[in-house]
Structure 1
Amino acid sequence: MNSQTIEEGRGLAILSYFTFIGLIIAIIMNLNKKNEFTFFHIRQMLGLILMLIISNTVEAYVHSWLGTILWAITFLCWLHGLINAITRKPTPIPFLGDKFQNWFQNIK
C-alpha cells in the first residue's frame, strides 16, 4: 500500500472501529472507492465483532470470569486496531489479525 492509498482510506478505516453502524457505513462508502487500507481495517473489525460475540456468549452461558477476560482481550485488540488506523499502519491485531484477513478476504 502506498501512502496516498493509506491517506485516502484513513477516515473510513477509523470510522469502521466505531460500533457496528460505523462498520456498515465504512463498508458502504468504500464499495465504490475500493480502498485497500479501509478494507484491511474493515476485515479487522469484522473479526473483532466475532471475538466480541464469542466473549459475550461465553460470559452469558458459562458464567465465569473467562468471558470477562475474553472481553478485555477483545477490547485491547480493538484499541490496537483503532490506534493502527489512526497512525496509518496496516498492521493486523495480535494473534488473530492475519486469520481475520484470510477469513474475510472476499471483502474487497
Structure 2
Amino acid sequence: MQETNQTNSDLYEIPPDQLKNAHSKKIVAGICGILLGGLGVHKFYLGYITPGIIMVLITLITPWFTCGFGAIVMGIIGLIEGILYLTKSDKDFYETYILNSKGWF
C-alpha cells in the first residue's frame, strides 16, 4: 500500500474567480490590519465578528485600567496579522481564512 502526502488543497482545484476574490480580500484585510489593526477592522472585513468585537473592546476599554497596554497589544496583533495576510499566497489565504475561517493568526 502506497502512502501519499497529499493535503486537502491537492485534492481539489480552487476556481479562478474565488482566487481573485481571495486576492482582493487579502490585500484589503492586510492593509487594514497594518493600519487599523487595534480596532479589528480587518476582522470585520473578513466576517469574523466576534474576534473583531473583542479587539475593539480591548482597545477602547482596557486603556482605563492598563494605561493603554491592551491597545498596544491589539495594535501589535493587528500588525502581525496584516503582515501574515499579505505574505500568504492567494491559495493559502483562501484555504486558511475564507474556507477554514481561522480567526486568530
Using the size of structure 1 for normalisation, the TM-score is: 0.44
Taking structure 2 as the reference length, the TM-score comes to 0.45
